[in-house]
A and B are shown apart, each in its own frame.
Chain A
Amino acid sequence: NAGVTQTPKFRVLKTGQSMTLLCAQDMNHEYMYWYRQDPGMGLRLIHYSVGEGTTAKGEVPDGYNVSRLKKQNFLLGLESAAPSQTSVYFCASVYLADREQYFGPGTRLTVT
């Protein structure tokens, strides 16, 4: 099992460009989460999904969109990147019985 994988690992964008981050899990978990991590801010929840075809807003959803068309994949989109979105992005999937989160390795995004 690969667990939770994130693609890409690194990316540099120019302001105004768009991109999609892919999170994939092979554990058949129902719930998936996107967080961003910034120094001194901990992990902040962007969006999450409690099942295929459903998504919900987290603490800092503005500027991001998500989709969960397949149970194993959770996509995070930036339609028009801004420097304030420079961050490390972590995806997690959750085993429903005990809510334990399994994290991906992270994506480091820089917006210039």
Chain B
Amino acid sequence: AQSVTQPDIHITVSEGASLELRCNYSYGATPYLFWYVQSPGQGLQLLLKYFSGDTLVQGIKGFEAEFKRSQSSFNLRKPSVHWSDAAEYFCAVGAWNRDDKIIFGKGTRLHILP
């Protein structure tokens, strides 16, 4: 069965430091992938998506992610975090020409130290 793993439940970084959030997936088909952000009490906002082509994708708010098929990973990065980036981040995966499910990871909560 397909699955999405976000190994880190919580991550704490200092403001201005770089960030990498991990996402690993298990799918039997070519995936398409998303990263979403959710602030407390809010809905989900799409940060970026990968469907095909260039494996390094740029998103909003200065985020980027790299799809690595050999590692089944789609890690999210930001070179310098801001206090406003504190939120929960979700990776989601679907598969072309499969059952059209889109499955989410359990999320990583990002804390920012001043």
Contacts and interface: CB of A to CB of B under 8 A. Distances in A.
A48 B9 CA distance: 27
A59 B2 CA distance: 10
Nearest to A94: B102
B101 A58 contact: yes
Nearest to A41: B106
A77 interface: no
Interface residues of A, number: 25
B49 A100 contact: yes
Nearest to A35: B104
Given A99-B51, A101-B34, A48 B43 contact: no
A103 interface: yes
A50 interface: yes
Contact of B102 (A40, A41, A99, A106): A99
A100 B92 CA distance: 11
B99 A99 contact: no
Interface of A: 31, 33, 35, 40-45, 48, 50, 56, 58-59, 90, 92, 94, 98-101, 103-106
21 contacts: A31-B100, A33-B102, A35-B104, A40-B9, A40-B107, A42-B6, A42-B104, A42-B106, A42-B107, A43-B90, A44-B104, A45-B102, A45-B103, A48-B100, A50-B100, A59-B101, A99-B51, A101-B46, A101-B102, A105-B43, A106-B43
